[in-house]
Amino acid sequence: MSQAHHRLPRHLATATLAALLAACATPPQPASTPVTEAKPQACVRTQACPACPACPPPGATAPTPAPSPAPASAPVPTQAPPAGQAGTMSMSTWTQLPGWAEDDLAAAWPAFRESCGTLSRRNDWKAVCALGARLPARPSTNQVKAFFEQHFTPWRSLNADGSDTGLVTGYYEPLIKGSRVRSAQSRWPIHAPPEDMLTIDLASVYPELKSLRLRGRLVGNKVVPYWTRAELDQRQELLAPRILLWADDPIDLFFLQVQGSGRVELPDGSRLRIGYADQNGHPYQSIGRWLVSEGELTLDKASMEGIRQWARDNPARLGELLNSNPSYVFFRELPASTSGPIGALGVPITEERSIAIDPAYIPLGAPVFLATTWPYSNRALNRLVLAQDTGSAIKGPVRADYFWGFGAQAGTQAGKMRQNGRIWVLLPNGVKPANALGKG
């Protein structure tokens, strides 16, 4: 992240820990995220489902062509395991991975090579990444299959109760319209991280908190939670020096914040990419859920388009709607590139071959075999993917957010996806899950 980590004296860090944990704690966010970061609870990370209640309840289907049959699976869990419960991994065989022999494994090879750019610096991955570098730049599916079967072992990820089914949502990279200068058309600011926001990393003092960073601000000699979205809205002067761009539409901007990265089309038709830089530390609250709880929309109408229409019909309440979510995401401009947005691993993520995971349970960067279904369908979607991103609502050992790619079509798929799924983590032979997670 571009925001510098401000380190506090140990006694000050200890004194402020409880308050900050309660009000402004979030895990590290992706440069692309959710996830947001932000990304939602239960239906959740709005990457997958920006409106959040828009996602159908488990078992619900939309009017789509009759799906092809697939093995039945357990109901989708709606929340992460309680704090303190740990998932486990069980050694598997390649024949236990549904669809392993049918997947176009070569399509995941570029993403694997991207992961190795980071993983090769770790002792337990160095040798296998070096072996992978010997394969052709564009190996065949059979070559990729043989490589993994020879050098890796699949481990099935399990929930604390021993079950192996979890929630798979989706996210994408949106395109919005905007400008580098404010105008009557472009008047909604996109901000870089504020200079007064502290990011506190307590991992050196409390190793068990290595996945937790706290955001706050100084008031005298005390650290207090950083401003909420509503409070920032009332203090625009604080963020005025940090404006990167101006967006044309506030709802488009909100959903861009939910996704964590995207592209902005300027008035001359050129496009630039912005990515997640930081977040104010407050948890994401679904604006779709707020509209349902207020009686403004029914659950089946709380889709992305339903929220847009409500905002058009109720412009005087737009601020109330947006401020029902205290989370606020800050961005940075990224270099022009034809590759995907940058994920939490620090490498570009790949359309339909990258996922966001919970790094407390799945090693960031690892290859994963994901067994799920297409949105609103029972048709199998079984693929080799790479765990290259994270998100604040992606919690638990069997939880994934599937990256659908860029643009409106990808957004449609992402917005519909809330499926059952199972996960196998592929680790180099001889590497135990605890060691891969740094717990051994």
pLDDT in tens, 323-332: 999 999 999 9
The one-letter amino acid code at 242 reads R
pTM as predicted: 0.73
4 falls within a domain: no
Residues in the chain: 440
Average confidence (pLDDT) over 368-386? 97
Q: What is 193-248 written as a DSSP string?
A: PPTT-EEEE-TTT-GGGTT-EEEEEEETTEEEEPPPHHHHHT-HHHHGGGEEEEES
Looking at the fold, whether 220 and 322 belong to one and the same domain comes out as yes
Last residue of a domain, one of 318, 334, 350: 334
Last residue of a domain, one of 334, 366, 395: 334
Looking at the fold, whether 185 and 328 belong to one and the same domain comes out as yes
Looking at the fold, whether 199 and 288 belong to one and the same domain comes out as yes
Name the residue range of residue 300's domain. Answer: 177-334
37 falls within a domain: no
**Domain of 326: which CATH number?**
2.40.240.50
The total of structural domains in the chain comes to 2
Tokens of 62: 């939309």
Report the candidate in 20, 163, 139, 155 with the shortest Cα–Cα distance to residue 85.
163
Phi/psi of residue 205, nearest 5 degrees: -100, -40
Q: CA-based angle 283:285:291, to the nearest 5? A: 170
C-beta of residue 342 within 8 angstroms of C-beta of residue 249: no
C-beta of residue 278 within 8 angstroms of C-beta of residue 330: yes
Q: Name all contacts of 203-209 with Cβ < 8 Å and 24+ positions apart.
A: 205/10, 205/13, 205/14
Question: Mean pLDDT lowest for which of 73-77, 305-309, 321-325, 354-358?
Answer: 73-77
Cβ atoms < 10 Å from Cβ of 159: 21
Looking at the fold, whether 184 and 304 belong to one and the same domain comes out as yes
- CA distances to 68, 194, 298 from 140, in Å: 28, 48, 49
Last residue of a domain, one of 334, 350, 366: 334
Looking at the fold, whether 114 and 197 belong to one and the same domain comes out as no
- Residue 318 above 90 pLDDT? yes
C-beta of residue 210 within 8 angstroms of C-beta of residue 16: no
13 falls within a domain: no
pLDDT in tens, 108-163: 999 999 999 999 999 999 999 999 999 998 999 999 999 999 999 999 999 999 99
